[in-house]
Amino acid sequence: MILGFGVSAMKRREFITLLGGAAVAWPLAARAQQSAPIIGFLNSASPDAFAHFVAAFHQGLNEAGYVEGKNVTIEYRWAKSQYDRLPALAADLVGRRVAVIAATGASPSMRAAKRATTTIPIVFIAADPVREGVVASFNRPGGNATGVSLFTDVLAAKRLELLRELVPNSGVVGLLVEPNSREANTQLSEVEAAARTIGQQIAVFNASSDREFDRIFETFAQQRLGALLVAGSPFFTSQRDKIVALAAHYRIPAIYEWREFTTAGGLISYGTSLTDAYRQVGAYVGRILKGDNPADLPVVRPAKFELVINLKTAKALGLDVPWFLQQRADEVIE
């Protein structure tokens, strides 16, 4: 009986010790989870239309060894194309003491993040961060910001050239611009300069809300515009399905900035890969979390531009896409 009591007492002591160890280990594990770095994700557009871009951002993070909910937390802030909300959203992320801010959705997010903090690292997607004074140079950004430059503005003239090759007798070409975007003036200047060089007449239309699209496209049809160039804009990207549908309804050949328009049924697009830009941002965020200094990370510049043509849409519009243009395309959708 005495032996049995000794064994039982020993087991009780071991059990209590085990419980004590678990009680200590549990808060340690909880604190470890709470101490995972927090990423602030700031975007000027809407989450529903940018889901696959966010997936690309996650891919870049994963490549760097970070997985949301496992060893990193992400706080998302979406302005939903209301750019005046961005400063408050950026300030909120700074107040939450995030480790790094991914300022995506083009230059408005970058500017808001840069004004909100000079110490928290920022990884942006923007048109020309050097021209805007956010970084000192592409190779040595300096300061607390780096990221991806898309060169969207300077490609506007090239899109006009491609549109003319596809629709040579287009007459007047419409240019759809978002006036609230700072890049709008640069894109407009680029297109107008290119139009003067080749003798192309341009009609400019401004759209800053989705309610304006129906009226604008109806005007396109009434004025019998021969083709349409849609300028680059995060707002337009978030509204790509509606823009593409209206172009199809009114049978207007249109060229866009991103391949996402063409895969949604648009005629033709020419620009950099926006999906890859988001992946690059994720990768840079991961490098900064591991200790890299944004001042020393060169701004990524596109090495390739994608020309995508939708032959199915061309056929619906009654257009014959020249063979030489198909040969130059990076992707032809049939």
User: Quick one: pLDDT at residue 321?
Assistant: 95
Say if residue 318's pLDDT is above 70: yes
Task: Indicate the pLDDT class of residue 202, thresholds 50, 70 and 90.
Answer: very high
Q: Do 34-151+274-296 and 153-271+306-333 show the same overall fold?
A: yes
User: Quick one: pLDDT at residue 205?
Assistant: 95
Domain locations in the chain as residue ranges:
34-151+274-296, 153-271+306-333
The better pLDDT of the pair 13, 108 is held by: 108
Are 173 and 163 contacting, i.e. CB atoms less than 8 angstroms apart?
yes
Q: How far apart are CA 135 and CA 51, in angstroms?
A: 28
CATH of domain 153-271+306-333: 3.40.50.2300
Mean pLDDT of the chain: 88
Fold of 34-151+274-296: Rossmann fold (3.40.50)
Task: Note the pLDDT tens digit of each residue in 132-145.
Answer: 899 999 999 999 99
Say if residue 306's pLDDT is above 70: yes
Task: Note the pLDDT tens digit of each residue in 7-29.
Answer: 444 444 454 444 444 444 434 33
User: Quick one: pLDDT at residue 249?
Assistant: 97
Q: How far apart are CA 28 and CA 56, in angstroms?
A: 33
Are 184 and 159 contacting, i.e. CB atoms less than 8 angstroms apart?
no
Average pLDDT score over residue span 82-87 = 94
Phi, psi angles (nearest 5°) of residue 208: -120, 0
Q: Of 107, 102, 104, 109, nearest to 86 (Cα)?
A: 109
The better pLDDT of the pair 2, 52 is held by: 52
Task: Note the pLDDT tens digit of each residue in 148-199.
Answer: 998 766 688 889 999 999 998 888 999 999 987 767 777 888 888 889 988 8
User: Quick one: pLDDT at residue 5?
Assistant: 38
Task: Indicate the pLDDT class of residue 41, thresholds 50, 70 and 90.
Answer: very high
Single-letter residue type at 316? A
Total-model pTM: 0.85
User: Quick one: pLDDT at residue 163?
Assistant: 94
Q: What is the 3-state secondary structure (H, E, C) of the chain?
A: CHHHHHHHHHHHHHHHHHHHHHHHHHHHHHHHHHCCCEEEEEECCCCCCCHHHHHHHHHHHHHCCCCECCCEEEEEEECCCCHHHHHHHHHHHHHCCCCEEEEECCHHHHHHHHHHCCCCCEEEEECCCCCCCCCCCCCCCCCCEEEEECCCHHHHHHHHHHHHHHCCCCCCEEEEECCCCCHHHHHHHHHHHHHHHHCCCEEEEECCCCCHHHHHHHHHHHCCCCEEEECCCHHHHHCHHHHHHHHHHCCCCEEECCHHHHHCCCCEEEECCHHHHHHHHHHHHHHHHCCCCHHHCCCECCCCCEEEEEHHHHHHCCCCCCHHHHHHCCEEEC
